[in-house]
């Protein structure tokens, strides 16, 4: 449980912006003070117009919590989204942005948890899971982990090269990637690739790869995605409180 209540607004400086996919950019922020983070947490950003109008949104931290004065947030461009379009179209390195965080203490993973885990991401739902995986990679103990990723098309797969490298270097980490719409030629040649929505059978395959039952599952994605995966995990007998979820979107 987080007992740190220092959730004052901080004025962060954008230090880099880069494309993760046609619709997602990563923004790195320098923070004015050290922040004690857990993998899976998020930050709020607040934008204020010259006439005083304010709005705010939450974005998952993708960087490892070991980096305390600098965080990375992945922001997807949403059609008509006033905050995401400002980030995608206006924000540049050097800009100042008000942020508040870290927020959320439940959907978090700590490397001292060495029991096997299942991570399941739909689309940009991979963001908090990437923070967990980056944290895991730099820790001496590596919990057996299988990551399931569902994206629409190949260009929508986020952090792909980094995750592939992690997988090559680490025998305790496996992934299954599925594309729900267009798949490239020869996509299914590798047996870790699928071309359908994540279903019960695919989850069973992931658990076989894990070699034992997961002690917890972290599921992040759109509402429909998380609802369906949550039901499958209950169906295979996982305990309700071992399934941690983060949903987004209407």
Partner 1 sequence: MINNRFFGKRRPDAPRPIPPGQYQEDGFPVLSAGPTPKVDTATWEFTIDIKGSTVASWSWDALNALPQTDIHTDIHCVTKWSKLDTDWCGVTIDTLLKDAGIDPPAGFAMAGCDGGYTTNIPVADIVDGKGMLVHTFDGQPLAPEHGGPVRLLIPHLYLWKSAKWVRNLRFMDQDAPGFWEGYGYHMYGDPWREQRYSND
Binding site for partner 1 (CB under 8 A): 1-2, 4-8, 11, 46-50, 53-58, 80, 82, 86, 90, 96-98, 100, 103-107, 219, 223, 226-227, 230-231, 233-234, 240-241, 243-245, 247-250
CB of 240 to partner 1, least distance (A): 5
Considering the complex, state which of residue 83 and residue 210 has its C-beta at the smaller distance from partner 1.
83
Nearer to partner 1, 82 or 212 (CB): 82
Q: What is the DSSP string of 159-203?
A: SHHHHHHHHHH-TTEEEEEEESS---TTGGGSTTEE-S---HHHH
In whole angstroms, the minimum distance from the beta carbon of 183 to partner 1 comes to 29
**Smallest gap from residue 38 Cβ to partner 1 (A):** 10
**How many Å apart are CA 39 and CA 130, to the nearest integer?**
9
Instruction: Give whichever of 81 and 137 is closer to partner 1, judged by the CB atom.
Output: 81
Beta bridge partners of 146: 118, 174
User: Taking the complex as a whole, how short is the minimal distance between the CB of residue 155 and partner 1, in angstroms?
Assistant: 26
Instruction: Give 157 or 203: the residue with its C-beta nearer to partner 1.
Output: 203
Q: Exposed/middle/buried for 76, CB within 10 Å: 0-12, 13-18, 19+?
A: buried
CB contact set of 92 (below 8 Å; sequence gap of 6+): 14, 17
Rounded CA separation 91/93 (Å) = 7
């Amino acid at each position: 449980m987080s007992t740190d209540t220092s959730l004052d607004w901080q004025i962060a400086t954008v230090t880099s912006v880069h494309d993760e996919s046609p619709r997602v950019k990563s923004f790195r922020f320098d923070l004015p003070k050290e922040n004690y983070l857990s993998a899976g947490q998020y930050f709020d950003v607040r934008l204020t117009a010259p006439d005083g109008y304010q709005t705010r949104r939450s974005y998952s931290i993708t960087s490892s919590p070991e980096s305390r004065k600098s965080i990375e947030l992945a922001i997807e461009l949403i059609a008509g989204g006033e905050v995401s379009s400002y980030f995608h179209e206006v924000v540049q390195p050097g800009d100042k942005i008000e942020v508040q965080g870290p927020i959320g203490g439940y959907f978090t993973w700590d490397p001292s948890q060495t029991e096997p885990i299942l991570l399941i991401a739909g689309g940009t739902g991979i963001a908090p899971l990437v923070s967990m995986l980056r944290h895991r990679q730099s820790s001496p103990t590596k919990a057996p982990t299988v990551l399931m990723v569902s994206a629409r098309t190949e260009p929508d797969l986020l952090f792909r090269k980094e995750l592939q490298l992690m997988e090559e270097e680490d025998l305790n980490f496996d992934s299954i990637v599925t594309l729900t719409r267009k798949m490239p030629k020869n996509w299914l040649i590798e047996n870790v690739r699928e071309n359908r929505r994540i279903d019960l059978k695919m989850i069973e395959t992931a658990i076989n790869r894990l070699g034992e039952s997961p002690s917890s599952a972290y599921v992040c994605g759109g509402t429909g995605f998380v609802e369906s995966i949550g039901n499958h995990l209950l169906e295979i007998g996982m305990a309700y409180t071992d399934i941690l979820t983060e949903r987004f979107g209407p």
